[in-house]
Structure 1
Amino acid sequence: MANPDLVASEPQGAHVVAAQASPCDALVICAQPTSVDRPCRRKRLALAATILGSSMAFIDGSVVNVALPSIQSELGASVAAIQWVVNAYLLFLGSLVLVGGSMGDKLGRRTVFIAGIALFTLASAACGLAPNAAALIAARAVQGIGAALLVPGSLAIIGAVFDGEARGRAIGTWAGVGAITSAVGPVAGGWLVDAFSWRAIFFLNVPLAALTIALAMSSVPNSQRLDAPGQLDWPGALAAAAGLASLTFGLTQASARGFQHPFVLVAIGAGVLVLAAFVMIEARSANPMMPLDVFRSRDFTGANLVTLLVYFGLGGAFFFLPFTLIRAHGFTATEAGAALLPVPVIIGLLSRFTGGLTSRFGSRALLTVGPGVAGLGFTLLALPLVHGSYWTGFFPALAVLGLGMTITVAPLTTTVMGAVSSERTGVASGINNAVARVASLLAVAVLGIVFVWSHHAALTARLDALHVTVDARQIGQLLEPDGQDRPASDGAGTPHATLVARAQAEAMLDALRAVAVVSAACAFAGAAIAAAAIQPRK
């Protein structure tokens, strides 16, 4: 059983950042030892440094989504390229976050945290200066490496600096600020895109990072874990990164080339083989970053499958919804960021209430109901109502989705915590964090196929009905980089061009609905797995 002190020290408000962070971030804090080699005399400044650091990574993971249409137009990027703008970051964050936490335990949390901030900041500046899509993707990959160092470091520092009731208050403060940044981040990022440029969202990290490093240098002790492993699991980390990269690359290319293309088959096959090798490496490693024996727990395996499926759907929705609102509905980046507000706001308002339901009804009941409600939210997003206004089409779906996520996150953390012994809580929470981030990575790649293929099929059907010539179909498609700048026309005059533009917008909405259908199926599957795998409350 899990340590009851951990349960008591985790405030229910710690779940409010679930929309952008990962489900067990607060548990990472709780799992830290309560003693450090050097006491911290400036705890408030240390907390401010860790909150600033983790907030930069959380915001960067969400704000970029509302900037993607602007990035695509300015850099002339393909759909696959803008997928990689997001996936390059998620790939290295998801595959290296476990070894990043181990580095902090071994080399010193402050040292690794500051190194992560510095690397993240240099990469942010490179993103802002990127002359083309390839340079931007490369810089985003380096950003992901920096985030893999700073995110677990920031959580570990909070756990190491605070103990007892002070730790609970610190987690509450961290969670409260996280809730605000989750809600305000996409809106503020959209405003920066509209008022200045998409490059501004990356340059903003530079002064914030300088302040974070100054606070960390002056206030955070360089604590270490005495029981940290002697060697880091670099073979496992490299295998995970290479396998996920190859698999994701193959899936991304499949949307344009098809699964029959030899290049796609080789990439996906190589990814599967390397990931199989990763499992073998972890099974034989003396200090694996992902110990396989924790999956012997039925509850732990079930909780991670639920995490994978629910965050897969959420990651896909948060990627394609802003893109569709901007391209098909003509939203500004600020409006698209504001359109996502129902999810974090509802999580923030209701998390304390739903957190208390876990002890009353048990994790299995809530992990069955929560993903089911989220599935209903995705289903509403798939209905023809999304053709209408935001308030009648998108808002109800996002409100229900937010309610479902609110119900889901607290019992997920509780289940992960209760599935392992207290000394392995940190390992279990780290694995669950990585699963949530890998789920978003796979969602952008897999649902990209669904989106692109559904869009092309729907657009072809509509243009056939309008008797548009083949030559005219190559002009002005909304999925193309400069689709907003070149009006569609086949020489038949403005009225026909308007019909073509409407067909393109409706085809994109059809593609979003197809994505929502898959996301709903995943959420409902998560509910079924929870009902079957999670043990009932005793």
Structure 2
Amino acid sequence: MPAQKSRRLPPLSGVLVLVMASTGLVVVDLTIVAIGLPLISADVADGASAESVVVTYMVAMGALTQVVGSLSDRWGRRALFLAGIAVFTLASLAATVAPDLLWLNAARVVQGAGAAAIMVNGIPLLSDRYAGEERNLAIGAWGSFATAAGLLAPILGGVLAETFGWRAVFAVNLPLGVAAWVLAVRVLPRSPGASGAGRTDWLGSLLLMLGLGTATLLMLRSGDTSWSGRETAVLLTACLALAAFLAVQLRAPAPTLELRMFGSPAFSGAMLAVLLSRVLTIGGSVYLVLYFSDGLGLSPTGAGLLMTPIFLAQIVMGMVGSKLIGNRPPGLVIGSGYALKGVGLAVLALAITPDTPWWALVVPLLAWGAGGGIAGAPVMAVAVRVTAPERVGMVAGTVATLASLGAGVGTAALGAVFTLNGGHGAQAVTDGARAVLGVSAALSVVAVLTTVTLIGPRRVPAGGPASAPAPAEGDGEPAPADR
């Protein structure tokens, strides 16, 4: 029997196109709206801050990702994905015609709920459709496309808002959402193993939504909170709700989060890697951009352009990382990615001064992005590999939840490092950024040790969960109804 030719790209399918396009739609919406905030503030917020338009969306997504991911395992990927696209598109329509800020915020909450259903079903749908090396490559392509979409979002948002007004940043979702829904109806097969809604953990779901929602809100507001009695009450509510959620999960017959999954060292290592990755990427980049603007004196456009080496390298090397884990130990691949990322961060910490020429920073920025790309996609593939097929949606929800928490924790914790070491003025901002980059480099070392130790070759099966991919008859033809 001839050996199968090694692939560099996953075979194209309707499912892959659908997942990439719909995920890109959600990722773009995470940042595109921020570009139109000044116009929104002037039009429907009576000149007041319109930051709540971004916050409500993020809180809704953060609160619902784990719940929706677990529900997709029981109710079916197709049903939840179709519902997510429909809700997201209808909420975009409501946001487009919003007469005031209250209406707009309500629409954004609903839009965030739809976005959660779209995002957490990406990995499960690809896992159902592909197997083995093709699955790794598909997840890598999905991650790279999402990164590219995030890179283009500010540009697209600026063009739409300046040309057509702020309502255009929501209206652009309408034709794209309708097209995605039609494609989903045609290409998505019935979800294998969907067990129905009879064993839904409603109490655990409500506690988790309360805990994650309040925690996300607190982290998003951490930069301007004075920690009054109200903020302390919110923190206490989040802690109590999450503690109660964990207690319920130990007894629930069909838990929203199966805590026994963390008994697998490889799974725990992958989840810790997801958390640390967002701490480093989101938290570190926030204060690096501040150095570009206040330390080097670059314009917002110049600062944004100087960040592009990170994203471009991450896009390219994400596919390389997905390819490497096909025939190399995943822990070693992921660890080498974090090591390269740490080197880039350490060089930046040593190199930046108020007088450093921008071109001297390009190479360490490329190392930062390349390391993140090599480590990123394999982490998701490992998490899927060591999990039973009927829990892939739960895993995707956990990945999304920890990524969101990592971004918030990273921004807040590294913000404290910046504040303790920096201040106002070019030199003070540079000192703060150097401290942040140094701490991030140290955390990269922690990530290397964690992944190499926990994600060992003996702890990750060579192929994946013992399941065949979903039948491909849905690609290009109407799929059977989701029962």
The bucket for the TM-score relative to the shorter chain is 0.7 to 0.9
1:379-418 to structure 2, matched below 5 A, reads 379-383=346-350, 385=352, 387-388=354-355, 391-392=358-359, 395-418=362-385
Return closer, same or farther for 1:321/1:190 CA change in 2, 3 Å cut-off.
farther
- 1:206 corresponds to which letter in structure 2? L
The Cα of 1:114 is off from its aligned counterpart by 2.8
- 1:58 corresponds to which letter in structure 2? V
- 1:436 corresponds to which letter in structure 2? A
| Contact 1:371–1:408 (Cα < 8 Å) also in 2 | yes
| Contact 1:10–1:168 (Cα < 8 Å) also in 2 | no
Return closer, same or farther for 1:243/1:256 CA change in 2, 3 Å cut-off.
same
| Contact 1:189–1:337 (Cα < 8 Å) also in 2 | no
Q: Find the counterpart in structure 2 of residue 58 from structure 1.
A: 27
Return closer, same or farther for 1:506/1:524 CA change in 2, 3 Å cut-off.
same
The correspondence for 2:119, drawn from 138, 143, 151, is 151
The correspondence for 1:206, drawn from 174, 199, 215, is 174
Q: Given the alignment of the two structures, is residue 235 of structure 1 paired with residue 156 of structure 2, yes or no? A: no
Q: Given the alignment of the two structures, is residue 123 of structure 1 paired with residue 91 of structure 2, yes or no? A: yes
* Alpha-carbon separation, structure 1, partners of 2:17 and 2:158: 25
Q: Find the counterpart in structure 1 of residue 467 from structure 2.
A: none
Unaligned runs of 5+ in 1: 1-7, 15-25, 27-42, 460-502
* Alpha-carbon separation, structure 1, partners of 2:292 and 2:86: 34
- 1:214 corresponds to which letter in structure 2? V
| Contact 2:353–2:427 (Cα < 8 Å) also in 1 | no
Deviations along 1:276-299, one digit per CA (max 9) or x if unpaired, are: 111112111111121001111222
* Alpha-carbon separation, structure 1, partners of 2:31 and 2:6: 25
Deviations along 1:421-474, one digit per CA (max 9) or x if unpaired, are: 5655554454234322332243345455556x469x613xxxxxxxxxxxxxxx
Q: Find the counterpart in structure 2 of residue 92 from structure 1.
A: 60
The Cα of 1:517 is off from its aligned counterpart by 4.5
- 1:413 corresponds to which letter in structure 2? M
Greater mean deviation of Cα atoms: 318-327 or 359-368: 318-327
Deviations along 1:359-379, one digit per CA (max 9) or x if unpaired, are: 665233334332233233334
| Contact 1:254–1:264 (Cα < 8 Å) also in 2 | no
* Alpha-carbon separation, structure 1, partners of 2:114 and 2:58: 11
TM-score by length of 2: 0.75
Q: Find the counterpart in structure 2 of residue 293 from structure 1.
A: 260
Deviations along 1:180-224, one digit per CA (max 9) or x if unpaired, are: 535434443344455555553333212211222233345545546
* Alpha-carbon separation, structure 2, partners of 1:290 and 1:10: 36
| Contact 1:386–1:394 (Cα < 8 Å) also in 2 | no
- 1:215 corresponds to which letter in structure 2? L
* Alpha-carbon separation, structure 2, partners of 1:447 and 1:320: 8
* Alpha-carbon separation, structure 2, partners of 1:514 and 1:134: 40
Return closer, same or farther for 1:276/1:258 CA change in 2, 3 Å cut-off.
same
| Contact 2:282–2:411 (Cα < 8 Å) also in 1 | yes
* Alpha-carbon separation, structure 1, partners of 2:167 and 2:293: 18
Report the identity percentage: 30
Greater mean deviation of Cα atoms: 46-55 or 192-201: 192-201
Return closer, same or farther for 1:242/1:516 CA change in 2, 3 Å cut-off.
farther
Q: Given the alignment of the two structures, is residue 343 of structure 1 paired with residue 310 of structure 2, yes or no? A: yes
Deviations along 1:375-422, one digit per CA (max 9) or x if unpaired, are: 333344545626357733653443121121123124423542454456
Return closer, same or farther for 1:161/1:310 CA change in 2, 3 Å cut-off.
closer
Return closer, same or farther for 1:450/1:176 CA change in 2, 3 Å cut-off.
closer
* Alpha-carbon separation, structure 2, partners of 1:375 and 1:73: 43
TM-score by length of 1: 0.68
1:420-431 to structure 2, matched below 5 A, reads 420-421=387-388, 424-425=391-392, 427-431=394-398
The correspondence for 1:284, drawn from 251, 255, 259, is 251
Instruction: Please tell me the root mean square deviation across aligned C-alpha atoms, in Å.
Output: 4.3
1:168-179 to structure 2, matched below 5 A, reads 177-178=145-146
The Cα of 1:346 is off from its aligned counterpart by 1.4
1:83-482 to structure 2, matched below 5 A, reads 86-127=54-95, 138-157=106-125, 177-178=145-146, 180-193=148-161, 195=163, 197=165, 199-221=167-189, 223=191, 225-228=193-196, 230-251=198-219, 255-259=223-227, 261-319=228-286, 329=297, 331-332=299-300, 337-358=304-325, 362-383=329-350, 385=352, 387-388=354-355, 391-392=358-359, 395-421=362-388, 424-425=391-392, 427-447=394-414, 453=419, 458-459=423-424
* Alpha-carbon separation, structure 1, partners of 2:309 and 2:364: 9
* Alpha-carbon separation, structure 2, partners of 1:130 and 1:330: 36
| Contact 1:358–1:410 (Cα < 8 Å) also in 2 | no
Q: Find the counterpart in structure 2 of residue 529 from structure 1.
A: 450
Unaligned runs of 5+ in 2: 460-483
* Alpha-carbon separation, structure 2, partners of 1:358 and 1:530: 13
| Contact 1:251–1:264 (Cα < 8 Å) also in 2 | no
| Contact 1:194–1:332 (Cα < 8 Å) also in 2 | no
Return closer, same or farther for 1:111/1:126 CA change in 2, 3 Å cut-off.
same
* Alpha-carbon separation, structure 2, partners of 1:131 and 1:298: 51
Return closer, same or farther for 1:368/1:106 CA change in 2, 3 Å cut-off.
closer
| Contact 2:91–2:110 (Cα < 8 Å) also in 1 | yes
* Alpha-carbon separation, structure 1, partners of 2:336 and 2:133: 32
| Contact 1:375–1:401 (Cα < 8 Å) also in 2 | yes
| Contact 2:36–2:161 (Cα < 8 Å) also in 1 | yes
